[in-house]
Structures are given as C-alpha cells and as structure tokens.
Amino acid sequence: MTRTKPPTKVKDKRQQAESEFARVIENVCAQGFHGTASVSVNVQDGHVQYTRVVVDRRV
C-alpha cells in the first residue's frame, strides 16, 4: 500500500529538504524498524528543485 501526501507550498525548499531528512531520521531510528530510508534532493544551479523521500520497511 502506498500513501502519498499532497505537496505543500514552501518558499524555502532547502528548509523543506532539511525538515524531511530530520523527520525520516526520527522515524527510522526507532527500535523495531528494519529497512532502508533515503532522501534524494534534485538541485539545479544551486537551487533545490524537489525532494524525494523513500522508506522501505521490512516486515
């Protein structure tokens, strides 16, 4: 099952990328989590274009 959330408008995409990374670290660094997590940031000319968060949890 895939859950997506609607994109939110944020003026500073760098701040958004940092907050997504912090949220991923907080969620996966918990006892009982097994899997992988990644945050990909697409940058063009020094500006963050978009951030992609992927969490793969093993059950």
Q: What share of the chain is helix, strand, coil (3-state, %, to 5)?
A: 25, 35, 35
Compute CA 54 distance to the chain's CA centroid, rounded to the nearest angstrom.
6
Average pLDDT over residues 2-11: 63
Q: What is the C-alpha to C-alpha distance for residues 7 and 45, in angstroms, rounded to an integer?
A: 23
Would residue 35 be called left, alpha or beta, if left means φ above 0 and alpha means ψ between -120 and 50 degrees? Answer: left
Average pLDDT over residues 18-46: 94
pLDDT of 11-23, one tens digit each?
699 999 999 999 9
How many alpha carbons lie under 13 Å from residue 55 in its C-beta half-sphere? 17
The pTM for the full model equals 0.70
